[in-house]
Structure formats: structure tokens, C-alpha cells
Amino acid sequence: MREQREIVQIKGWEEDDLDLLFQLNAPEMMNHLGGPEREEKVFSRHQRYLALKDKGSMYSIQLQPQNEKVGSVGFWHKSVDGEEAYEVGWSVLPSFQGKGIATRATKLAIKEALAKNNWAIHAFPSIDNPGSNAICRKLHFSFLTECEFEYPPGNLMRCNHWRLEASSIR
């Protein structure tokens, strides 16, 4: 008997997504991103996500039919080598990882980004995060280079720089 895959949806970030953001800030979730943020930083991040409207979008990742929040995904404006672009990022709670949820949600977010602007999409997963790098490969991003990336501010990390051309999606 074949296992039925749950439907992955993304929903615009809302005030009541703060609890999800605290869950995503757990040490096991932030080990590739410089460690968990202090409480006030999580509140500040939540406010940035709510206000992101013109320069990008953040979403909660939800599984249907349960309407269960399992992660976040989003995109935001970034200038890369003088070019207007979007950066995309995602995070899925540990008990939901390895099921293709992040890949499906990121694909939906990329479609939303391209509906706003026909810009290239960039991703910067840690070189030590095989799951996120695999998502870039599955979604046909091109690997550009290893680089240093400051995240969070004041913390330099080694990342893989991936790029997805808007024309390769359409």
C-alpha cells in the first residue's frame, strides 16, 4: 500500500506565526545558522517578517488537511554583484524533515517570487547542511561557489552560493 503524501501549502506570515518562529529557533534548528537567537531577536524577526511585503514575502509552511504549521519559507530582495535578485530561505521542524516538504514549499515560494519580479533566485545554505544543499540541487539551482556569509550579523559562516535563473523556471 502506497503512503499518501500530505499537501504542502504556504500561507503569508501572520501575527499568530510567532509560536512557530520560536519553535524554529530551537538549538537543533539553528546549528547551521550561528545558534538560537535571544528572545528579543525572535520578536524582532517576527516583526520584520510581517513587514516584508514590498521587498519579499515570508510564509508559514502548512500541511493539509491537518492545517499543521511545520516550517517557514520566504524570499527577500538582495543585490548580488550589482544585480537585482531574490534570496530564498527555508526551515522545517525536525520531525517533518526528510519528507520533501521543504523542497515543495520552496518551489511554491519561488513561483511567488517570480510572480513579483523576473529576477534570479539565490540561496546560501551552510556548506555543512547537506539537506538544504540537496534542495538546491533538486530545484535545479546552479552551484556558483563557496563563500563567506554573515548570518546572523556578526557571525561569518561558510556557505554554498546557488543561483536559479528565472528563465529556467518558466
Mean predicted confidence (pLDDT) in 134-162: 89
**Lowest-confidence range among 20-29, 92-101, 129-138?**
20-29
- pLDDT for 32 equals 63
Lowest-confidence segment of 7-16, 98-107, 146-155 by average pLDDT: 146-155
Provide the Cα torsion 74, 23, 37, 109; round to 10°: 0
170 lies in a domain? no
Please return the burial class of 82, using the count of CB atoms within 10 Å of its CB with bins 0-12, 13-18 and 19+.
exposed
How confident is the model at residue 70, as a pLDDT?
A: 95
The reply to whether 1 falls in a domain is no
Residues spanned by the domain of 159? 7-164
pLDDT at 1: 39
Confidence tier at 6 by pLDDT (50, 70, 90):
confident
Helices and strands counted in the chain (H then E): 5, 7
- Asked whether residue 88 is domain-assigned, the answer is yes
**154 within domain boundaries:** yes
2 inside domain: no
Question: What order of strands is seen across the sheet that includes strand 156-164?
Answer: 7-12, 56-64, 68-80, 83-92, 120-123, 156-164, 142-150
pTM: predicted TM-score of the whole model, two decimal places: 0.89
Q: Establish if 77 belongs to a structural domain.
A: yes
Sign of CA dihedral 112, 71, 50, 48: negative
What average pLDDT does the structure give for the chain? Answer: 87
What stretches of the chain show up as alpha helix (H) in DSSP? 18-24, 27-30, 39-51, 101-116, 130-138
The CATH number that applies at residue 70 is 3.40.630.30
- Calpha distance 133→142 (Å, rounded): 11
**Bridge partners of 59?**
12, 73
* Domain presence at residue 47: yes
pLDDT tens column, 27-67: 676 666 666 677 788 798 899 999 987 789 999 999 998 88
Within-domain flag for 118: yes
Determine contact, residues 57/50, Cβ cutoff 8 Å: no
- What integer pLDDT is reported at residue 33 of this predicted model? 66
Number of domains in the chain: 1
